[in-house]
Chain A
Amino acid sequence: MTTQRQLELEDLALKVREHILSLSTDGGCFTGASLSCADLLVYLYTEFLRVSPQTTQDPLRDYLLLSKGHDVPALYGVFAELGFIEKSRLQNHLKTHDSIYWHPNRNVNGVEFHSGSLGHLLSVGMGIAYDCKLRNTDNRVVVIVGDGELNEGSIWEALLVASAQHLNNLIVIVDRNEFQANFATEELIPLEPLAPKFEAFGCHVLRPDGHDFHAFDMAFKSLDEKENDKPIGIIADTVRGKGIPSIERRADRWVCNFTKNEIHQLHQELQGHAIADLESEALIVR
């Protein structure tokens, strides 16, 4: 990847983060978990997935399923920037006349399936991947799961079956931001060593830095040369709240619903200016 391209993607990711921040008021959203996977989604939709705003119904498209559905502001930010949806539509967040709420809905162009209950879309993605094999088409199916989501037994059950069925067109990406809801993962349900777990369940595993476009490029390009019949597990090491230091790696910044004044300051912070002075109480939900 050229430096020029890297800078373009960083610029795009910044715009996506601005969208996420704009949705973090008037009811708010899951800001930190959205910020952690913004770079990942930007990379996938610009460099990897063969899907465009015009081909979201094409049977030959690549699929992306957001199993950790609460980070949907990042997805909608990407969709708005790449023309899957009108940018102005994001103003309909949480409004009854649209379908843009805290979890994904298929009424939004580009959303493959709804989610919100953790541990579901890996097996749904496997059904899609299986059908693509039945039809001998070379679609790839990417499923993004959260690290907290790995607590769900259905993930591990599905991996056993994905491996048994040799679904090498399936790519499971863990947004490893080290937090689940209100706790650090290693404090509540330790996951490390994580890569060997995926390997033991039959996956071909890669572990790139989840905020480095060059690292993504190395990892995803290496898949082209991969010649085996294993499903792919990618553990993207990320930071919850990435890009806004005052909420980065904070267990108490799970659901964020900032005041207008705070949002203004956080936009400044995102641009690298002064750190915001946050007064609103951290919300403990779940």
Chain B
Amino acid sequence: MNRYEQILLEHMERHRNLVVMTAENRMALRNIPPYLGKRFIDVGIAEQTMVGMATGLALRGNIPVVHALATFLTLRAFEFIRTDVGIGQLPVKLVGAIAGFLSEANGPTHQAIEDISIMRGIPNMGIFCPCDELEMIAGLPTILEAQRPFYVRYNAMPSLGTINAPFELGSSITIGDGHDVAIITYGFLLKEALKAKEELESQGIATRVVYLRTVVPIDEYTVIESAQTCGLTVTLEDHFQTGGLYSIVAETLLANRVSADVQPIALRSRWFKPALLNDVLVYEGFTGAMIATRIQSMIEDYVVIPIPF
């Protein structure tokens, strides 16, 4: 039994209201089915039906936790999520596997790099992208108890040992207090952000890293505060530049009438090169060292273009 399954079972023992579902993806659920009996449902490769059934189960007072690869869950079943779970405002938990770079060598069909953009377009949908397994486990009980739908980027990567404060929705963890650069990020890229911080600081660029414990709701206060404090704010994410963290941070600042220099490190206008994770990071420029180099050139290349009158 893995830690994720343990948390689900612990919740089940306390509340008796979980139904764990999958569209024939048992990567995270190898051992739990016998413990759940009829409260485990494998619908086969039928994401729409799974989300529809989850809606009906939620209407009867259950907390359905549904599993599928992130692309098929958020795209194939999107209208069911938006129209049934979303309009119904039901506490269905949507767990997407191999989101972002974690699809590795599967290719563009499996690359969920617009998932955050489309999920956050649904009113009241929460988004949780844990940086490692420990963080996923720390957040899961709160996510399961939240009376709202949630989208989770499943991430069982080994612990970074960085995060140990109690989990709270809409909170963040700031590592370091540098005033030159703030790197705001979520998910497993936190690890690369921390490497980039070390690299930048070895060159005299004082850096802080803001890790968002939930992307929605976002810790507005910390986002604004770091953008106001630091010379340059960089958003780092394995997601298309459109609609993801860069957009969320930009919207947050604009809506609060804050002007700041904010630059994105994200995927632009194309899907990423399919390969094993480390090779993807190198090819796409997302290793800690490459992130540091990209941030350095953002600082060096910055020229104020005079506005012609």
Chain A interface residues (CB < 8 Å from chain B):
59, 112-114, 116-117, 120-134, 154, 157-158, 160-161, 164-165
Contact = CB atoms under 8 A, between A and B. Distances in A.
B59 A122 contact: no
A130 B55 CA distance: 11
Nearest to B21: A127
Given A158-B49, A165-B41, A127 B87 contact: no
A117 B83 contact: yes
B62 to A, nearest CB: 6
Interface in B52-85: 52-62, 64, 79-80, 83-84
A160 B79 contact: no
Q: Is the interface of B mostly helix, strand, loop or mixed?
A: helix
B41 A124 contact: no
A117 B53 CA distance: 16
A130 B84 contact: no
Contacts of B50: 123
Contacts of B39: 134
Given A113-B88, A120-B84, A161 B49 contact: yes
A158 B52 contact: yes
Interface string B249-276: 0000000000000000000000000000
Nearest to A127: B56
Contacts, number: 88
23 contacts: A59-B60, A113-B55, A113-B84, A113-B88, A114-B87, A114-B88, A120-B83, A124-B84, A126-B53, A126-B56, A127-B56, A127-B60, A127-B64, A129-B56, A130-B53, A130-B56, A131-B62, A154-B48, A157-B48, A160-B46, A161-B44, A161-B49, A164-B44
A124 B44 contact: no
Which of B49, B58, B60, B79 has the most A CB atoms < 10 Å from its CB?
A: B49
B57 A127 contact: yes
Nearest to B77: A154
A116 B59 CA distance: 18
A154 B84 CA distance: 14
B62 A160 contact: no
Nearest to A158: B49
A131 B60 contact: yes
A128 B52 contact: no
Given A123-B53, A127-B52, 15 more contacts: A113-B84, A120-B83, A123-B48, A123-B51, A123-B52, A124-B55, A126-B49, A127-B59, A127-B64, A128-B57, A133-B38, A134-B38, A158-B46, A160-B44, A164-B43
A116 B87 CA distance: 12
Nearest to B45: A157
B49 A123 contact: yes
Contacts of A113: 55, 59, 84, 88
Interface in B14-48: 19, 38-39, 41, 43-44, 46, 48
